[in-house]
């Protein structure tokens, strides 16, 4: 064994890689609500990360930050964490000495059995040992219990809510907001990510639903435009038919006028012929007396 290598009780050589370290303790999250809340923090950042060249988000997976932690087999991990400036790839756990950096943001979801630990010991560990730039906690069953801290000169200072009661993450450029709504059939107050303008980041399912709704709206608008175009075409056809009818009526009136003129001409000629015959037989017509 080389001088730089050291064994630990369960047979690993330090420093181990993520493939060698345990990545699952078999312990489920506190409640279904906690699992759903974790998903609601992770899932919206997946499309958000697609707009970036790098980054990773994870949750309920082991965070390894010191060899002493490995020796003591302390295999706990945060409920949510985000890291920027790292390659986009799958991980079994987050190993700081492999990745070259600690998470930029960590969120712990409180429960009766973990709240004290999350607010004291874990906060100290994230501040002094892991040196996580921003740390938040939230209780899914007590949504008023929300707090955030930013690492300044080696110590956590509170992140105060803005005028809209949002906690801003400088690391991500996003805000944490309490959102009242239904997620996976459960209606409650959830913790969600939002843009700095307050626009909620949608989950992939919500994004798909929005796109489907937009596509449906566009289809309905296209159908309406087609119906309007059809109506305009029918109106134009009707106007053309009316114009044709008016033209035919005008033509008929002209023909009737022509016929009447011809008939009048024929009667005049017939009268002239009769008058000439009379003159030939009897002479000029006598003048009518004015008496």
Domain membership flag for residue 218:
yes
Q: Which residues of 218-242 are buried (b: 16+ CB within 10 A; e: fewer)?
A: eeeeeeeeeeeeeeeeeeeeeeeee
Q: 197 and 263 in one domain?
A: no
Domain membership flag for residue 240:
yes
User: Residue 23: pLDDT above 60?
Assistant: no
Q: 130 and 63 in one domain?
A: yes
Domain that holds residue 243: 202-279
Strand pairing category for 142-152 and 155-158: antiparallel
Domain membership flag for residue 101:
yes
Strand pairing category for 63-64 and 94-95: parallel
Q: What residues contact residue 282 under an 8 Å CB cut-off, 6+ apart?
A: none
Q: 221 and 266 in one domain?
A: yes
Q: What is the DSSP string of 64-103?
A: E--HHHHHTT-----SEEEE-SS-----SSEEHHHHSS--
**Looking at 154, 181, 201, which one is the last position of a domain?**
201
The pLDDT, as a whole number, for residue 69 is: 67
**Looking at 166, 201, 236, which one is the last position of a domain?**
201
Domain membership flag for residue 284:
no
Task: Classify burial at 153, counting beta carbons within 10 Å of its beta carbon; exposed 0-12, middle 13-18, buried 19 or more.
Answer: exposed
The pLDDT, as a whole number, for residue 7 is: 44
Contacts 24+ apart (CB under 8 A), 120-128: 123/149, 123/156, 126/156, 127/151, 127/154, 127/155, 127/156, 128/154
Q: 77 and 178 in one domain?
A: yes
User: Residue 290: pLDDT above 80?
Assistant: no
Instruction: Give the tokens for residue 159.
Output: 């992140």
How many Cβ atoms are within 10 Å of 277's Cβ, its own excluded? Answer: 10
**Domain count along the chain:** 2
The pLDDT, as a whole number, for residue 4 is: 43
Q: 54 and 156 in one domain?
A: yes
Q: 249 and 180 in one domain?
A: no
Angle ∠(105,109,112) on CA atoms, nearest 5: 145
What is the share, in percent, of the chain residues with pLDDT greater than 70? Answer: 86
Domain membership flag for residue 23:
no
Three-state DSSP string of 244-256: HHHHHHHHHHHHH
CATH number of residue 78's parent domain? 3.90.1570.20
> How far is the C-alpha of 111 from the C-alpha of 212, rounded, in Å?
37
Q: 214 and 165 in one domain?
A: no
Q: 100 and 43 in one domain?
A: yes
Q: 159 and 246 in one domain?
A: no
The pLDDT, as a whole number, for residue 242 is: 92
> Which residue, among 166, 85, 90, has the nearest Cα to 133 in the 3D structure?
85
Average pLDDT over residues 50-56: 93
User: Residue 99: pLDDT above 50?
Assistant: yes
**Looking at 179, 201, 223, which one is the last position of a domain?**
201
Q: 263 and 184 in one domain?
A: no
Q: 167 and 104 in one domain?
A: yes
Average pLDDT over residues 164-189: 97
Domain membership flag for residue 213:
yes
Q: Binning pLDDT at 50, 70 and 90, where does residue 67 land?
A: confident
The most confident of the ranges 17-31, 33-47, 69-83, 263-277 is 33-47
Q: 241 and 137 in one domain?
A: no
């Amino acid at each position: 064994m080389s001088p730089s290598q050291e064994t630990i009780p369960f047979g690993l050589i330090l420093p181990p890689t993520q493939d060698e370290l345990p990545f699952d303790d078999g312990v489920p999250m506190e409640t279904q609500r906690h699992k759903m809340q974790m998903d609601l923090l992770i899932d919206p950042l997946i499309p958000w990360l697609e707009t970036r060249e790098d980054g990773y988000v994870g949750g309920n997976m082991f965070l390894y930050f010191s060899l002493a932690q490995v020796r003591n087999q302390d295999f706990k991990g945060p409920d949510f964490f985000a890291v920027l400036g790292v390659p986009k790839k799958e991980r079994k756990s987050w190993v700081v000495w492999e990745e070259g950096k600690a998470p930029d943001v960590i969120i712990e979801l409180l429960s009766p059995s973990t709240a004290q630990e999350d607010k004291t010991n874990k906060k100290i560990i994230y501040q002094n040992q892991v040196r996580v730039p921003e740390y938040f906690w939230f209780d899914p069953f007590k949504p008023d219990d929300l707090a955030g801290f930013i690492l300044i000169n080696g110590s956590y200072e509170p992140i105060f809510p803005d005028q809209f009661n949002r906690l801003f993450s400088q690391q991500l450029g996003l805000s944490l907001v309490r959102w009242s709504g239904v997620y996976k059939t459960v209606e409650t107050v959830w913790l969600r990510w939002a843009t700095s303008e307050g626009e909620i980041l949608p989950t992939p399912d919500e994004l798909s639903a929005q796109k489907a709704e937009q596509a449906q709206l566009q289809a309905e608008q296209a159908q309406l435009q087609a119906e309007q175009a059809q109506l305009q075409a029918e109106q134009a056809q009707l106007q053309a038919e009316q114009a044709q009818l008016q033209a035919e009526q005008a033509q008929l009136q002209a023909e009737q006028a022509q016929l009447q003129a011809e008939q009048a001409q024929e009667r005049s000629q017939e009268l002239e012929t009769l008058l000439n015959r009379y003159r030939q037989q009897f002479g000029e017509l006598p003048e009518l007396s004015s008496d």
